[in-house]
């Protein structure tokens, strides 16, 4: 590679993710100097005519000090209360900072449902696209004030990778308190920085499970590498570095770690279905149905299902499982409630339509709502 990473400097639409530890003090509360430093880098990027989407953690951490909480709470209700206080402080600071650069910000709070259900997915895309078209800078975060364990992304690294896919970004930059991916612990003198990752083969033998240092965030290096896998699988290159090197990274300097993008991009919504959802149930398929779904890319019909597990409603994601091996072969959005399906199993759609009415002459999972795993 040359001195400048052209894949970075040529990217016109950039998603930048920053972690809690890069925005807040160790005891909670926003570090205004660090927030303003990031704002100045991104404001300069926008001044070049490049579109910027910021995925920002920090709402819960920012709410700790005002609520006189000494550490990040473990229970969901207190996390949600801290997020409710902190999110307003966080977006207010961003709004004031970006205003210095003549930029308007728009807050977009998401849950998993917002990107897996078809109508919600389209709404999320339209909102982000319209903000960019109007010259605003979207600031995205998980909606921690209402998200439950069942509808959480889990960490903002993963959310950032999925947002990058949603807006068809040309670059994802993951900022944290570690300046790159290393062969071991960054504090170990024997560890060396990995400048380039071409694929999973370059990650063999690397220890990536060490969490971040601050204690106010949820992600460690393992979540960042997984986010890089998700984004590069969608054809988006990723730069991983520390927040204090954001300016150098976005200028194309060879700082941090660059993850090369895959050559092909899958369909965006199905990509989200594969990576953003947690299955609410399992449908067990006979050999004929497995062949139809996997090899022939057909819709799943009631006749090919042998059993149903879980509690789910129409529109929920479910895994399609090979009844013989027990292995998931696909994931899709189901068209029936769990309580409806047992009476339909093994029966053809014409038979069901004749017995129960035309509403039952439909697929259990339509091929347009199905992705192979």
Q: Is 223 annotated as a binding residue?
A: yes
Q: Is 286 annotated as a binding residue?
A: no
Alpha helices in 19-117 (DSSP H): 32-47, 59-64, 76-99, 113-116
Q: Is 20 annotated as a binding residue?
A: no
Residue with tokens 């594969």: 274
Q: Is 57 annotated as a binding residue?
A: yes
Residue pair 224/34 in contact (Cβ under 8 Å)? The answer is: no
**Where is 15: in which H helix or E strand?**
strand 13-18
Q: Is 156 annotated as a binding residue?
A: yes
Q: Is 36 annotated as a binding residue?
A: no
Residue pair 229/202 in contact (Cβ under 8 Å)? The answer is: no
Return d(Cα 12, Cα 168) in angstroms, integer.
11
Q: Which CA distances in Å does 188 have to 22, 49, 370?
A: 22, 41, 45
SS3 161: helix
SS3 133: helix
Q: Which CA distances in Å does 201 have to 64, 121, 261?
A: 41, 33, 14
Q: Is 219 annotated as a binding residue?
A: yes
Q: Is 210 annotated as a binding residue?
A: no
Return d(Cα 239, Cα 254) in angstroms, integer.
10
Q: Which CA distances in Å does 187 have to 2, 8, 85, 111, 197?
A: 28, 28, 35, 35, 21
Q: Is 214 annotated as a binding residue?
A: no
CA 174 to mean position of chain CA atoms: 12
Q: Is 220 annotated as a binding residue?
A: yes
Q: Is 298 annotated as a binding residue?
A: no
Return d(Cα 324, Cα 47) in angstroms, integer.
57
Binding residues for ATP: 17, 176-177, 218-224
Binding residues: 17, 57, 144, 156, 176-177, 218-224
Binding residues for substrate: 57, 144, 156
């Amino acid at each position: 590679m040359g001195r400048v990473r052209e894949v970075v400097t040529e990217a016109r639409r950039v998603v930048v993710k920053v972690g809690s530890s890069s925005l807040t003090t160790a005891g909670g509360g926003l570090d205004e100097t660090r927030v303003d430093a990031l704002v100045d880098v991104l404001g300069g990027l926008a001044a070049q005519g490049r579109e910027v989407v910021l995925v920002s953690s920090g709402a819960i951490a920012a709410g700790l000090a005002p609520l006189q909480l000494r550490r990040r709470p473990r229970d969901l209700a207190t996390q949600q209360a801290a997020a409710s206080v902190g999110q307003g402080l966080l977006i207010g600071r961003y709004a004031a900072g970006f205003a210095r650069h003549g930029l308007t910000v728009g807050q977009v709070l998401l849950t998993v449902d917002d990107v897996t259900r078809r109508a919600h997915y389209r709404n999320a895309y339209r909102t982000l696209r319209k903000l960019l078209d109007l010259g605003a800078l979207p600031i995205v975060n998980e909606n921690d004030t209402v998200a439950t364990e069942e509808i959480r992304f889990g960490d903002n690294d993963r959310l950032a990778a999925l947002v990058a896919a949603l807006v068809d970004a040309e670059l994802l930059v993951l900022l944290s308190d570690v300046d790159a991916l290393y062969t071991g612990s960054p504090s170990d003198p024997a560890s060396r920085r990995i400048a380039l990752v071409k694929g999973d083969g370059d990650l063999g033998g690397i220890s990536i499970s060490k969490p971040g240092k601050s204690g106010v965030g949820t992600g460690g290096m393992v979540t960042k590498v997984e986010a890089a896998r998700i984004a590069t699988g969608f054809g988006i290159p990723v730069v991983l570095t520390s927040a204090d090197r954001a300016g150098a990274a976005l200028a194309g300097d060879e700082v941090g770690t660059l993850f090369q993008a895959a050559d092909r991009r899958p369909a965006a919504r199905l990509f989200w279905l594969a990576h953003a959802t947690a299955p609410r149930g399992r449908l067990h398929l006979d050999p004929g149905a497995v062949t139809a779904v996997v090899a022939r890319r057909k819709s799943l019909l009631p006749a090919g299902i042998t059993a149903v597990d879980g509690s789910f409603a129409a529109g929920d994601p479910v895994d399609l499982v090979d009844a013989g091996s027990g292995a998931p072969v696909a994931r899709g959005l189901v068209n029936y409630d769990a309580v409806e399906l047992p009476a339909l199993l093994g029966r053809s759609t014409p038979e069901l339509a004749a017995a129960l009415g035309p509403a039952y002459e439909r697929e259990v999972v339509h091929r347009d709502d199905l992705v192979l795993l």
